[in-house]
Structure 1
Amino acid sequence: MDTIVALLTTTEGRIGRQQWWIGVVALIAVSIVASIILGILSFGNATVLAWLAVLLNIALIFPSYCIGIKRRHDRDNDGTDLKILIAGSLIVNVLQATGIGTTPMDIGNGMVVPMPSIWMSAINLIFAVFAIYMLIQLGFLKGTAGSNSYGRDPLDGAA
């Protein structure tokens, strides 16, 4: 348990892909459980649920940053792109919660739903492409062999 806590709360050093995936799975599990609880607490109110989702995003920023920055360090990178990803995620989340970038659309029977505007759809597409790039960087590409400017290779001595 100490290992997972350290994984999600420290920013020093490097981690390999396996440790990163363990951290991601842990954060996904927490996110799913929290989303279910928040869905119940929102009493079906979409606006309340959207703002609770923003709060959940904020709560998960630090552990996400911790595992991401150590993974970027493993690839001898300072993590600027990770910071952009995290900030972009929060911005998109807040825009969705406020309804900025949506247009009301009548779907019949007196029901009106918010639909993303063209510019918001473009932002979502750009963000999705960048998120895929970061997923490849963090989850699939091998780290720097041997020591680098962020520490020793996490795979040294591993079988």
Structure 2
Amino acid sequence: MDFGKVLTKEFLLSLEGRINRGQYWAFILIYIAGAIVLGIVDGILGTGGILGLIYALAALYPSICVLARRWHDRGKSGWWTLIGLVPFIGAIWILVECGCLPGTSGPNQYGADPLAPGA
């Protein structure tokens, strides 16, 4: 997995197209690593979590974009991201659908298969 691709403007800010599970998990790992680092810095500086809050707000739109593109890979509308607003069930649904299940094979209405050769 090319972590550099996950940090590009197109990857983080576009609602168009599809991403595969590997790219999705790479984003999640980078996000969690950033949150951990900022949590440690918050603790050292005694800022009361303000850096973590700023980080979460700054990562909100990129997180929505990445999740919507993962839904696209599953052949579903990016609006499925809103299932995350349902307590407990929403998080499990997203974990299973976006994190565990493979995307649709071949092109779909959202674009070419990200795992296809040359994609």
SS at match of 1:127: coil
The match for 2:105 is 145
1:1-159 alignment runs, 5 A limit: 2-6=4-8, 7-43=11-47, 48-49=48-49, 52-85=51-84, 88=85, 127-157=87-117
Q: TM-score, normalised by structure 2?
A: 0.80
Compare CA radii of gyration and give the structure with the larger one.
1
Name segments (4+ residues, structure 1) moved above 6 Å.
none
Structure 2: gaps (5+ residues): none
Counterpart-to-counterpart distance in 2, 1:21 and 1:28: 10
Give the letter for the 1:155 counterpart: L
Report if the CA contact (8 A) 2:38-2:51 is conserved: no
CA RMSD of aligned residues (A): 2.2
Taking the aligned partners of 1:70 and 1:58, their CA distance within structure 2 comes to 20
The structural deviation recorded for 1:72 is 0.5
Which residue identity does 1:20 align to in structure 2?
Y
Q: With the length of structure 1 as denominator, give the TM-score of the two structures.
A: 0.62
